[in-house]
Amino acid sequence: MERVCAAYFSPCGNVKAAAEAAGRAAADVLGLPFESVDFTLPGARTGDIAFGPGDVVILATPVYAGRVPNKLMPFIRDHIRGNGALCGAAVCFGNRAFDDALAELYMLARDNGFTVIGAAAIATEHSFAPALGTGRPDEADLAALREFGEALAKKAQKNGPALKTVPGAMPPEKYYTPLRADGTPARFLKAVPKTDMEKCTRCGTCARVCPMGSVDPADPAVTTGVCIKCQACIRLCPTGARTFDDGDFLSHRAMLEANYARRAESAFFL
């Protein structure tokens, strides 16, 4: 073994924090260098990302609608190559549920030449309902992630067997339908953030951090492509100029806050 990597898509930073905590702990146990491979931004997704038999890779994404984010899945399927690398597949979910996302990521990794020896579904703060899982991963979560990384490393050292399965439908079955507060389906697929031009300083942060490259750098009020509601532009705007005011979106957030306030547990599989 030569190196431990955390390879992740992480618009708001939770997945990065979780994957790096586990990856660094694994690297410490193995006495190997640690590297982050961040494929959040479009510029990092222009070609293949190839690993090799000397790599141990924590491959990590958020859960969107109970699955691997659908706009990202084709990139993972077509461009992330294991070439015999060992893998810990990890998804972060915002305190509701991970549904079929872990199963989907497990299958993508396995089918792309990784030997998946561990998997994790990690409860984190919800990017668009931050009252859920507020502040997570917290100290207890990071300790659990380090433990997972250490156990993964020990399994790698012993040439431990591949995981046969993880929870969730294989192949994954459907996407979670977001609901309004009244229990009816919430339709906000086409919603985009609004920009308050009185507050906007045209610093360009929103355009820089958009994982879909969908904000016009010359005019942040213009959405040029798809919006995946990841919240990166909203959270990272230094003046708080960006907001979502779509009624269905806000109603879904209220539904989540009313029903998923309890502390969700993370799950680890080795």
Question: Near ligand FMN by CB under 6 A, which window of 10-18, 31-39, 102-110, 190-198?
Answer: 10-18
The whole-angstrom separation of Cα 119 and Cα 98 is: 12
* 126 is a site residue for ligand FMN (CB under 6 A): yes
Q: How many residues bind ligand FMN (CB under 6 A)?
A: 27
Cβ proximity to ligand FMN, 10 vs 195, nearer residue: 10
Closest to 93 in 3D by CA, of 62, 136, 65: 62
Contact between 249 and ligand FMN by CB under 6 A: the answer reads no
* Residue of 5, 7, 11, 21 interacting with ligand FMN (CB under 6 A): 11
User: Binding ligand FMN by CB under 6 A: which of 39, 51, 93, 249?
Assistant: 93
At its nearest, how many Å lie between ligand FMN and the CB of residue 13?
5
Q: Is 14 in the site for ligand FMN (CB under 6 A)?
A: yes
CB of 119 closer than 8 Å to CB of 160: no
For ligand FMN, give the closer residue by CB, 126 or 155: 126
Is 62 a binder of ligand FMN (CB under 6 A)? yes
What is d(CA 233, CA 253) in angstroms, rounded to the nearest whole number? 18
Q: Is 214 in the site for ligand FMN (CB under 6 A)?
A: no
Distance CA 160, CA 269 (A): 13
Q: What DSSP state is assigned to residue 67?
A: B
Yes or no: say if 45 and 78 are a contact pair by the CB < 8 Å rule. no
Instruction: Note whether 195 binds ligand FMN by CB under 6 A.
Output: no
The DSSP element (H or E) to which 24 belongs, if any, is helix 14-30
Q: Pick the piece of the chain touching ligand FMN (CB under 6 A) from 79-87, 90-98, 106-114, 196-204.
A: 90-98
Which C-beta is closer to ligand FMN: that of 93 or that of 268?
93
| 3-state SS, residue 139 | helix
Among 34, 51, 64, 148, binds ligand FMN (CB under 6 A): 64
Calpha distance 133→118 (Å, rounded): 24
DSSP states of 199-238 as a string? T-----HHHHH-TT--B-TT-TT-B-S------HHHHH-T
Residue 166's nearest CA partner among 237, 104, 247, 115 is 104
CA gap 152, 88 in Å, rounded: 7
Residue 193 engages ligand FMN in binding (rule: CB under 6 A) = no
Q: How far is the CB of 153 from ligand FMN (least distance, A)?
A: 23
**Among the residue ranges 26-34, 43-51, 62-70, 245-253, the one whose residues contact ligand FMN (CB under 6 A):** 62-70
Shortest-Cβ-distance residue relative to ligand FMN = 94
Return the closest-CA partner of residue 260 out of 149, 125, 104, 95.
Answer: 95
The only residue of 230, 233, 234, 250 in contact with ligand FMN, by rule CB under 6 A? 230
Which residues lie closer than 8 Å to 263 by C-beta, 6 or more apart?
Answer: 95, 123, 133
Q: Which residues bind ligand FMN (CB under 6 A)?
A: 10-15, 62-66, 92-97, 124-128, 176, 228-231
